[in-house]
Amino acid sequence: MIVADRKPIEEIIAEIKEHEKILILGCNECVTVCEAGGKKEVGVLASALRMYFLNQGRDVKLDEITLERQCDHEYLEEIRDVIDQYDAVVSLACGVGVQFMAEKYHTMPVYPGVNTCFLGVTEKRGLWTERCQACGQCILARTGGICPVSRCAKRILNGPCGGSTQGSCEINKEISCAWQLIIDRLKALDRLDDYEQIDPIKDWSTDRAGGPRKVEREDVQQ
Amino acid sequence: MNLKRKFDAGEFAVLAEMEPPKGVDVSTMLSNAMRVKGEVDAFVIPEMSNAVMRMSSLGGAMILQGKGMETVMQVNCRDRNRIALQADLLAANGCGITNVMAVAGEDPSFGDHYQARSVYDIDLLELLNAIRGLQDGKDMAGIELSGSPQFLVGSTVDAGAKGKSPELEIEEMTKKIEAGVQFFISPPLFDLSAIHPFMKRVDIQKTKIIPTVLLLKSLGMARYIMRNVDNVYITDSLIDRIQKSPDKVRECTQIASEMVTSLKKEGFSGVNLATLGWEHKLPEILERI
Ligand code: SF4
Ligand code: SF4
């Protein structure tokens, strides 16, 4: 999923303080799971903002809506009838949702309410870690299902770099060396021979480094 | 420091691009440069233009400087992060390179290593600020340098470019001037009227604009540019002129020479001659100026 973290409230206030009718818009998908932008967090943010405006002696309209998703036309359309009641939206969706919202409601100011961080997993409640950088040409088959692109600090494809100690990455002891994990996993799969293979030089043109990307599928287009 | 002296004195400066080799055989580059050494104030060494991998600008510049020729080194943010960029700038100045030009650099997808990751750790304006910082004795981390480089700093401006708004270009240029740029090289110019809307808005006595004069190699190349190159304006009459000429190559060098002469007359600070691999034609262009 897309993992996001809460944005400091001061930052949000600094952006929206001139507005009078604000919609706080949550998303029921990834950001709900990572407890940054779901219905619950929409409520928490709205209460905090109400408190702020109250202290400022200002009467600001603050409504809460949480959509199923903000990255699909269908769900974003659900607010078409009410959007005119507001002069700003704080979207607690990931950066994708914020942008799609802005594209759809062209004259409505939209502010991000979270910091979108990475594609990752919930390791345990309150701990999310990165697993994928969406490089566009997955090599997990060769690396025992562990991604060196997102998990090796140096992003090396023929590791380890030589600096790993006791399973930790040389640049941060708190983080496991991705290549140690790859070797352990290949061992467990009895596929250590794969480790001997030199990985071909990666084509980064499908990565973000090659510019903004798109996936177009004629077979599913109507 | 010939270039800076010329600029300071308000004299017309002649720059010429000298592309380093794809490989280590520098003999052609050197002999081409040697032949026009006396007529050219500084050689501009492209930094892997069109994202085609070849000897770096720093390398090419050092080789020419070693033979007593002044150069303008190009730097861009495509292939190097802030650490490498600063390191190369120090290396350049340490080796006697005193002119540097910050350029945008084409995307790797245009070049021969389209699978490469581009870097863009910092952008062009940040790079210019970094150059200024180095000249003031500090690196981008704020750490004091032992001996600071001194550069004449240049960049590019899309003056006279087809489809560009002169207002926006001037805004862009002003930002660069504030970041320390002292001269600007503009895209190939074949018709002075293309640059007039831009020039009306700048004082060319104060802002050093150096248009590029590109040597056309054939009628086909002229036609190709006319149809496909976004920022360059070529007129039908120029195409006609080349078409009617019995010796097209000679006609093209003549066109380049005439363009240089008119730039000089118009009061520009100089010219940047681009010959794209035909550097051996430089003497012919220069002798008619
Ligand atoms: S190899 Fe690429 S697509 Fe596969 S997990 Fe890693 S970053 Fe994601
Ligand atoms: S120690 Fe491991 S994870 Fe860290 S940079 Fe080296 S190979 Fe990558």
The domain spans of chain A are 2-118, 135-201
In this predicted structure, what is the pLDDT of residue B1?
Answer: 58
Cβ-based contacts under 8 A for chains A and B:
19
CA pair distance B153, B74, nearest whole angstrom: 10
Q: Please answer whether residues A74 and A32 qualify as being in contact, where contact means their C-beta atoms are separated by less than 8 angstroms.
A: no
Which residue of A155, A157, A204 to mutate against B (max B Cβ within 10 Å)?
A: A204
A212–B contact, CB cutoff 8 A: no
Residues of chain A with pLDDT under 70: none
| Exposure string for B161-199, b = 16+ CB within 10 A, e = fewer | beebebeebbebbeebbebbbbbbbbbbbbebebbeebb
Q: Can you spell out the DSSP letters for B104-171?
A: ----GGGSS-TTSPP--SS-HHHHHHHHHHHHTTB-TTSPBPSS----EEEEE--TT-TT--HHHHHH
Distance in Å, CA A121 to ligand 1 centroid: 14
Helix (H, G, I), strand (E, B), or coil: what is residue B289?
coil
Phi-psi sector, A136: left (phi>0), alpha (psi -120 to 50), beta: left
The dihedral of CA A109, A114, A119, A124: what is its sign?
A: negative
From A133, A137, A179, A207, the mutation candidate for ligand 1 (largest count of ligand atoms within 8 A of CB) is A133
Say whether A211 and B107 touch across the interface (CB within 8 A): yes
In CATH terms, the superfamily for domain A2-118 is Response regulator (3.40.50.2300)
Provide CATH code, domain B2-287. Answer: 3.20.20.220
Determine if ligand 1 sits within 6 Å of the CB of residue A140. yes
> The tokens 């309410």 sit on which residue?
A113
* Ligand 1 and A150: CB distance under 6 A: yes
Q: Tell me the chain A residues in contact with residue B118 when contact means C-beta distances shorter than 8 Å.
A: 209
Question: Mean pLDDT score of chain A, rounded to an integer?
Answer: 96
Q: What is the ipTM of this complex?
A: 0.83
The vertex-B101 CA angle with B124 and B180, nearest 5°, equals 65
| Terminal-residue alpha carbon distance, chain B | 23
**Which of A177, A180, A195 most suits a substitution to test ligand 2, by most atoms within 8 Å of the C-beta?**
A177
Chain B contacts of A202, Cβ < 8 Å? 115
Write the single-letter amino acid at A60. Answer: V
B90 touches chain A (CB under 8 A): no
- How close A209 comes to chain B (CA, Å)? 5
Query: A205–B108: do the CB atoms touch at under 8 Å?
Result: yes
Answer yes or no: is the C-beta of A152 below 6 A from any ligand 2 atom.
yes
Kindly give the distance from the C-alpha atom of residue A118 to the centroid of ligand 1, in angstroms, as a whole number: 12
Closest CA to B238 of B219, B263, B212: B219
- pTM confidence score: 0.90
Q: Identify the residue whose C-alpha is closest to ligand 1 atom 8.
A: A132
Residue nearest to atom 1 of ligand 1 (CA): A138
| Residues A182, A197 contacting (CB under 8 angstroms) | no
- Would you kindly state where each structural domain of chain B is located, as residue ranges? 2-287
Strand, helix or coil for residue A103: helix
How far is C-alpha B247 from the chain's CA centre? 29
Sorted by sequence, the CB contacts under 8 Å of residue B72 that are 6+ apart come out as: B3, B15, B42, B43, B44, B45, B61, B99, B100, B101, B154
Q: What is the mean pLDDT of each run of 10 residues along chain B (289 residues)?
A: 89 96 97 94 97 98 97 97 98 97 94 94 97 98 98 93 82 94 95 89 86 96 92 92 95 97 94 94 91
Q: Is the CB of A201 less than 8 angstroms away from the CB of B115?
A: yes
* pLDDT confidence of residue B84: 98
| Cβ atoms B3, B41 nearer than 8 A | yes
